[in-house]
Amino acid sequence: MGVIKCIGILTSGGDAPGMNAAIRAVTRAAIYNGLKVKGIYRGYKGLVTGEIKEFKSQDVSNIIQLGGTILKTARCQEFMTYEGRQVAYDNMKKEEIDALVVIGGDGSLTGARIFAQEFDVPCIGLPGTIDNDLYGTDTTIGYDTALNTILDAVDKIRDTATSHERLFFVEVMGRDAGFLALNGAIASGAEAAIIPECSTEVDQLEEFIKNGFRKSKNSSIVLVAESEITGGAMHLAERVKNEFPEYDVRVTILGHLQRGGSPSAHDRILASRLGAASIDAIMEDQRNVMIGIEHDQIVYIPFSKAIKKDKPINKDLVNVLKELSI
Ligand code: F6P
């Protein structure tokens, strides 16, 4: 691959608040550094179908405050095949795109990694997912906003939970990670969080019933991370109804509302820094790395690490939640 003159940018997988701020940052930083930018629509799908448009600075005006992604997003089956990736590569060549910036979660970065290896294309990843499950960055774009959305919802649920003296199970997203559930529980003053990271150690539900709900509380809120490992909020509620019929149990599944909304200040700043750093990385001839921020410093993490290594939950937080929910 010769000198990089033009970069392509795409968003892929589940959208996350702050993706637009990242698109803006990548575009503006690229133009500032004399590079051409092309927006690729609908994730890898747009690379396969050739839905590509040149972006000027004004194409990304007034988007920093918007949730979702102006580039749209998709999970593309064709790109999962070699033939699909070959078509994508041919389109890249046709459009004279020399390098890609991919904003998305682990599935999207896995796609970038395979594509980069097969076709020797420089790819830079930005962590964009509400799940916060990418190794090598303190937080991912969208996570903070989703957390704040959860707080808004749980604050409201608490009003009705208290009035009716009920036990609420509130299911939050996160795929197989418990960051939203655990930190959401601490920040909302919930009584417990049921997360996949702790599920093999103890029966979290039983522990909560014994230590939390039974002793002193008339109403309780438990945040449950969606995941096959926890079984989800419905499953836990059914268990409680069977084992403790005296409790008045309700379930709220927050669902996709957690993915929407205007990005928080944290996510806008994170996306802006990561977007600008992606262009620095390209100019430094970096390839096949995800850009992260750890301890306020920009870091480059090889795709293999960002995707494959499990980002650990801070177990201190589990103890803080336990201590504060007496
Ligand atoms: O990865 C982001 C995420 O919102 C997960 O938390 C959730 O499990 C999944 O995407 C939902 O995906 P979809 O929008 O395709 O239903």
Q: How far is the CA of 173 from the centre of ligand 1 (A)?
A: 7
Q: How far is the CA of 255 from the centre of ligand 1 (A)?
A: 9
Query: Is pTM beyond 0.85 here?
Result: yes
Is the shortest distance between the CB of 74 and ligand 1 below 6 Å? no
Instruction: Write the CA distances from 114 to 59, 82, 120, 121, 287, integer angstroms.
Output: 30, 10, 10, 10, 13
Cβ distance 71 to 9 under 8 Å?
A: yes
Is the shortest distance between the CB of 173 and ligand 1 below 6 Å? yes
Instruction: Take atom 12 of ligand 1 and give the residue whose Cα is closest.
Output: 14
Residue with tokens 């593309």: 76
Q: How far is the CA of 108 from the centre of ligand 1 (A)?
A: 13
Residue 77 confidence (pLDDT) above 80: yes
Is the shortest distance between the CB of 174 and ligand 1 below 6 Å? yes
Residue with tokens 């709900």: 213
Same-domain pairing of 37 and 153 = no
CATH of the domain at 148: 3.40.50.460
- Asked if residue 324 is part of any domain, the answer here is no
Predicted local confidence at residue 163, as pLDDT: 94
**Torsion sign across C-alpha atoms 86, 103, 315, 209:** negative
Which residue type occupies 271?
A
Is the shortest distance between the CB of 131 and ligand 1 below 6 Å? yes
Q: How far is the CA of 179 from the centre of ligand 1 (A)?
A: 14
Q: How far is the CA of 14 from the centre of ligand 1 (A)?
A: 6
Q: How many residues does the chain have?
A: 326
Nearest to 310 by CA among 173, 197, 174, 182: 197
* Collapsed DSSP state (helix, strand, coil) of residue 187: helix
Nearest to 157 by CA among 195, 110, 189: 189
Q: Quick one: pLDDT band at residue 203, thresholds 50, 70, 90?
A: confident
Pocket test for ligand 1, best of 75, 110, 130, 173 (most atoms within 8 A of CB): 173
Same-domain pairing of 69 and 200 = no
Rounded to whole angstroms, how far apart are CA atoms 22 and 141? Answer: 8
Pocket test for ligand 1, best of 11, 73, 131, 150 (most atoms within 8 A of CB): 131
- Per the residue annotation, which of 15, 106, 131, 133 is the catalytic one? 131
Same-domain pairing of 36 and 125 = yes
Residue with tokens 């149990």: 249
Same-domain pairing of 101 and 180 = no
- Beta-carbon neighbour count of residue 218 at 10 Å? 11
Nearest to 109 by CA among 289, 295, 250, 233: 289
Predicted local confidence at residue 118, as pLDDT: 97
Q: How far is the CA of 175 from the centre of ligand 1 (A)?
A: 7
Tell me the per-residue pLDDT of 223-278, one tens digit each, with 9 for 90 and over. 999 999 999 999 999 999 998 898 899 999 999 999 999 999 999 999 999 999 99
- DSSP-assigned letters across all residues of 53-95: EE--GGGGTT-TT-SS-TT-----SGGGSHHHHHHHHHHHHHT
- Asked if residue 166 is part of any domain, the answer here is yes
Residue 178 confidence (pLDDT) above 90: yes
Rounded to whole angstroms, how far apart are CA atoms 38 and 71? Answer: 11
- Asked if residue 129 is part of any domain, the answer here is yes
Predicted local confidence at residue 213, as pLDDT: 67
Give the residue, 259 or 310, on which the prediction is more confident.
259
Instruction: Take atom 14 of ligand 1 and give the residue whose Cα is closest.
Output: 14
Same-domain pairing of 10 and 42 = yes
Same-domain pairing of 137 and 35 = yes
Predicted local confidence at residue 204, as pLDDT: 85
Dmax (CA) for the chain in angstroms is 70
Mean pLDDT of 170-185: 97
Tell me whether residue 159 is one of the annotated catalytic residues: no
Percent of the chain predicted with pLDDT > 70: 98
Is the shortest distance between the CB of 217 and ligand 1 below 6 Å? no
Mean pLDDT of 159-184: 96
Cβ distance 127 to 142 under 8 Å?
A: no
CATH of the domain at 288: 3.40.50.450
Predicted local confidence at residue 186, as pLDDT: 97
Cβ distance 29 to 272 under 8 Å?
A: no
Residue 1 confidence (pLDDT) above 70: no
Same-domain pairing of 134 and 268 = yes
Residue 300 confidence (pLDDT) above 70: yes
Pocket test for ligand 1, best of 175, 224, 226, 307 (most atoms within 8 A of CB): 175
Tell me the per-residue pLDDT of 24-44, one tens digit each, with 9 for 90 and over. 999 999 999 999 999 999 999
* Collapsed DSSP state (helix, strand, coil) of residue 38: strand
Same-domain pairing of 43 and 169 = no
Percent of the chain predicted with pLDDT > 90: 89
What backbone torsions phi and psi does residue 247 show, to the nearest 5 degrees?
Answer: -85, 140
Q: Quick one: pLDDT band at residue 199, thresholds 50, 70, 90?
A: confident
Pocket test for ligand 1, best of 42, 73, 109, 130 (most atoms within 8 A of CB): 130
Cβ distance 226 to 133 under 8 Å?
A: no
Q: How far is the CA of 171 from the centre of ligand 1 (A)?
A: 13
Is the shortest distance between the CB of 130 and ligand 1 below 6 Å? yes
Cβ distance 85 to 118 under 8 Å?
A: yes
What's the domain count of the chain? Answer: 2
- Asked if residue 325 is part of any domain, the answer here is no
Domain that holds residue 56: 6-142+263-308
**β-pair partners for 9:** 39, 101
Same-domain pairing of 189 and 242 = yes
Picking from 174-178, 204-208, 246-250, which range would have the lowest pLDDT averaged per residue? 204-208
Rounded to whole angstroms, how far apart are CA atoms 149 and 139? Answer: 16
Tell me the per-residue pLDDT of 117-138, one tens digit each, with 9 for 90 and over. 999 999 999 999 999 999 999 9
Burial of 246 (0-12, 13-18, 19+ CB in 10 A): exposed
Nearest to 150 by CA among 186, 177, 175, 176: 186
- Asked if residue 206 is part of any domain, the answer here is yes
- Asked if residue 292 is part of any domain, the answer here is yes
- Asked if residue 326 is part of any domain, the answer here is no
Same-domain pairing of 237 and 282 = no
Same-domain pairing of 13 and 124 = yes
Mean pLDDT of 287-300: 97
Mean of the per-residue pLDDT values of the chain: 95
Which residues are CB-neighbours of 76 under 8 A, at least 6 positions away? 12, 42, 43, 44, 45, 48, 84, 111
Rounded to whole angstroms, how far apart are CA atoms 155 and 90? Answer: 51
Residue 216 confidence (pLDDT) above 80: no
- Asked if residue 320 is part of any domain, the answer here is no
